[in-house]
């Protein structure tokens, strides 16, 4: 699942409402935790602050290895 709020609408509580609804859904499925991946690029720092504010904690490190030519990896 991916949750994204267009930058023109950020700061209006939409992201918080989406995350809270996802958490409620997870509880109804009897999940005991929620894990998410937000990437570690500088552009993601605002998202990281957002998740910390909602009670999430930094918990893991991810790794990535390219198996394709660089031109096929635009956006990673």
Percentage of the chain beyond pLDDT 70 is: 91
Enter the pTM of the model: 0.75
Nearest 5°: phi and psi at 40? -120, 15
Mean pLDDT of 18-24: 95
Q: What is the dihedral of CA 37, 76, 11, 32, to 10 degrees?
A: -10
> Taking the domains of the chain in order of start, what are their residue ranges?
7-73
Is 90 exceeded by the pLDDT of residue 17?
yes
Q: Are 71 and 59 in contact (CB under 8 A)?
A: no
How does pLDDT run across 36-51, given as a tens digit for each residue? 998 888 999 999 999 9
The answer to whether the CB of 22 falls within 8 A of the CB of 1 is yes
Distance CA 61, CA 17 (A): 27
Are 59 and 43 in contact by the 8 Å Cβ rule? The answer is: no
pLDDT higher than 70, residue 74: no
């Amino acid at each position: 699942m991916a949750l994204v709020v267009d930058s023109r609408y950020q700061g209006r509580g939409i992201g918080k409402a989406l995350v809270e609804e996802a958490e409620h859904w997870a509880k109804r499925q009897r999940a005991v935790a929620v894990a998410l991946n937000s990437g570690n690029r500088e552009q993601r720092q605002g998202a990281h602050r957002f998740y910390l504010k909602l009670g999430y904690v930094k918990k893991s490190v991810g790794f990535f290895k390219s198996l394709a030519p660089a031109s096929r990896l635009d956006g990673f």
